[in-house]
Amino acid sequence: MSGTAERHVVADADEIDNGERIVTQIKGREITVFRYDGDYYAYLNWCAHQGGPCGEGTLTGTSIASYDRETGEVDSYWGREGEILNCPWHGWEYDLTTGDCLSRTGVTLPSYPVEIEDGEIVVTL
Ligand code: FES
């Protein structure tokens, strides 16, 4: 039984700078709340690979590759700086804005709704 979702104030919105995070406990779960580019994201501090503390990973970019079938030309460059959450255990990469794993289709970090109300960060869980 998951029970009824409740709203939890986790911090003042200005306690988290852009690109920073806080780790908090809600209903016995460890939740990491990130602020990035004016938005807030809340994920379970857990990695879909082997359960590592993904929410404590580095926010970084990723290598973006392209392949042109017509010309056979390949290209690779570094992009999305600050938007990629890199699990500290084995380096799985997740899109911070969606929770989606970059290399494994259908794998997504468990997430929770976040709202800012009267200057406070409210997570529903
Ligand atoms: S536990 Fe996260 S990459 Fe292995």
CA of 12 to the centre of ligand 1 (A): 30
Question: How many domains does the chain divide into?
Answer: 1
Strand partners, 67: 74
Please list every protein residue whose CB sits less than 6 Å from any atom of ligand 1.
47, 49-50, 52, 54, 87, 89-92
Q: In this structure, is residue 1 part of a structural domain?
A: no
CA of 42 to the centre of ligand 1 (A): 18
Residue 111 belongs to domain with CATH number = 2.102.10.10
Mean pLDDT of 69-75: 95
pLDDT given at position 2: 57
- The tens digit of pLDDT for each residue in 53-67 reads 999 999 999 999 999
CA of 20 to the centre of ligand 1 (A): 21
Compute and round to an integer the Cα radius of gyration of the chain: 16
pLDDT given at position 30: 97
- The tens digit of pLDDT for each residue in 78-124 reads 999 999 999 999 999 999 999 999 999 999 999 999 999 999 999 99
Ligand 1 atom closest to the CA of 54, numbered from 1: 2
Residue with the nearest Cα to atom 3 of ligand 1? 90
Going across the sheet that includes 39-44, the strands are 21-26, 29-36, 39-44, 111-112
- The tens digit of pLDDT for each residue in 5-41 reads 999 999 999 999 999 999 999 999 999 999 999 999 9
Q: In this structure, is residue 27 part of a structural domain?
A: yes
Domain residue limits at 79: 7-124
Cα 49 to Cα 63: distance, rounded to the nearest angstrom:
20
For residue 1, is pLDDT > 70? no
- Report phi then psi at 81, rounded to 5: -55, 130
Q: pTM of the predicted model, to two decimals? A: 0.91
